[in-house]
Amino acid sequence: MKPQIMFSSRIGDRRIFAVEFEGIEFNGLPRAWNEWWGYLWLWAEGRVVGSPDEFEMVMCGIDSLIELVQEREPAISNLLFSRPASEVLDLVQWARYGEDDPPDRLVGNSLLSFPRKGFPWPLDGPFFDGLEATLVRGDLEERFVFRQEGSQTGEARWPAGTFKSVVLQARERFQKLASGATRAALDPPGNQRQ
């Protein structure tokens, strides 16, 4: 049986920030709304970031995005906001995955005195393999800082709250579409209760 797109949606504006997904019928239909497999695309200033060809459970990617929504330590985020993009990624990656001693390029950085658990999370999960990315919040603006393996560091900026709004809308829309598709598959028209 050829995989079939059962639902799809895009939330946000691809030119600024958007989350796009497809739910695919693959080896039968899932029994629960959060078990749909498919594709997830993250758009930042007109560019897809992450692994656009990755086929995985869509909620894995949405859950990774929701982790970035959760504020860690606002003071650290405010200090990171004015730092160069590559330094932000180096610090965040070290805080999450690094050894006890920071890499030489970070030695002497004043932000190393903050607790590692207070740094923003890096984006992870199968939809984002080969991507280093994080969200840094300022008072009026957010910076989404990213570096695809083997590429230059990039960043996108938008008004504060944009990322959270789009990601939470994407989760809500995914749940609604996936729940409807799951219900329809489990309760075909001839079997529906009156």
Percent of the chain with pLDDT over 70: 82
Residue 117's pLDDT is 66
Q: Which helix (H) or strand (E) holds 49?
A: strand 47-49
Rounded Cα distance between 32 and 42, Å, is 24
What's the rounded mean pLDDT across residues 22-48? Answer: 91
Residue 194's pLDDT is 47
The predicted model scores a pTM of 0.85
Q: Check whether 91 has a pLDDT greater than 90.
A: no
Q: How many domains does the chain have?
A: 1
Query: Domain range for residue 31?
Result: 4-191
Predicted confidence (pLDDT) per residue in 93-128, tens digit = 887 887 767 666 666 666 666 666 666 667 888 999
